[in-house]
Amino acid sequence: MASFLTPPSVERGLGLDKELLERTARELVAPGRGVLAADESNGTMSNRLQAVGVEPSSEARRAYRANLFATEGYESAVSGVILFDETIRQSMDDGTLIPDALSSRGIHPGIKVDTGAKDLAHHADEKVTEGLDGLRERCTEYFALGARFAKWRAVIRIGDGIPSEACVSANAHALARYAAICQEQGLVPIIEPEVLMEGEHDAQRCFEVTSTTLDATFAECAAQGVHIPGSLLKPNMVIAGKGCETQISRERVAQMTVDCLTQHVPHNLPGIVFLSGGQSDEDATAHLNLMNKMDIEHPWQLSYSYGRALQSEALMKWAGSGDDFDAASQRAFSHRAKMNRLARSGDWSEELEV
């Protein structure tokens, strides 16, 4: 008999539990819902706490996130939450383990499993994401802790002569190996090849690099036997670099992004959960809304996996002290979640942001 704590395929000594993977993937991109990325590393989260005047500590990180996860009604807009290793082992204020608290509200706990982007040997200004060593064992433990999906982020920088073929190839290979190992352990992999917004490149260059990166990633996934219907993609949108003098309209961002994905993403993928990548809160919502408002039927669900674009105002509100600040933080988070829920069906408008 399979144990709740053991991936079914591992317990039975069989191949992938495709039914489990596909069901979880579909639930993560159910209509009106998306993923909250709350997987900031301890260092990153501590820096964000310091930036709003809060002394960083394990307890401060726990308290902020526990308050966020206790928000009333946000499960109508959030299907999954990506956690960091520290957070998946922590508890809510009432002592309930955070994964259990999320699951009780119909929200899938997820986990960040990469160990960060490191310098790519012999390639200046380029990174490769590490963390494959021991990944199988970590995934087994995370499944037992309640995780049902995972995330691995690769970063691709555009610049003079980059990205190199080596950078794209190394990251695509790592993403595919990660995805295959996760699926073996019953976890839906979110595959995140992020083309960064930093740089002076225009939107067309972003389109080209994103296309190349997606082609390489899915070619490696095919080679590694990744089950695409039991996976999700977390890509950047097609946007000009922050330093580019020519910025395109929201409508053009939406169109170029959909064109790129339609041409370079397998159509049997259940869903795409966009990263915000440094966009403003409203831009991230507006772009998603425009894509879902198009008079065409997309082959996949178009959803979100936002971090700062869901949390930035909530964190600033929480930086005070006392119940009033906790409630204000939850209201800010609830509002952004509601806005992105509306964007899932193309029903968001700027007037609703007042």
Of the candidates 99, 74, 110, the one whose C-alpha atom is nearest the C-alpha of residue 330 is 74
Is 141 a residue of the active site?
no
- Tokens at residue 256, please? 């170029």
3-state secondary structure of 271: strand
- CA dist., res. 339 & res. 286, Å (int): 9
Note if 234 is an active site residue.
yes
Q: What is the number of residues in the chain?
A: 354
Amino acid letter at 71? T
Of the candidates 192, 194, 220, 313, the residue annotated as catalytic is: 192
Side-chain-side CA neighbours of 352 within 13 Å: the count stands at 17
CB within 8 Å of 143: residues ≥ 6 apart: 5, 6, 7, 185, 186, 187
* DSSP element (H, E) containing 27: helix 18-28
In whole angstroms, give the CA distance from residue 133 to residue 188.
19
Q: What are the tokens at 52?
A: 């709003």
Which ranges of 232-303 does DSSP label H, i.e. alpha helix?
250-264, 281-293
Taking the C-alpha atoms of 264, 267, 271 and 274 in order, what is their torsion angle to the nearest 10 degrees?
A: 20
Catalytic residue chosen out of the listed positions 27, 234, 313, 317: 234
- Give the closest residue to 299 by CA, choosing from 275, 263, 342: 263
Torsions phi, psi for 184 (to 5 deg) = -60, -30
Q: Could you give the 3-state DSSP secondary structure of residue 67?
A: helix
Phi and psi at 83, nearest 5°, equal -110, 160
Whole-angstrom distance, CA of residue 339 vs CA of residue 6: 37
Sort strands 117-119 and 301-306 into parallel, antiparallel or unpaired.
unpaired
Q: Which are the catalytic amino acids? A: 192, 234
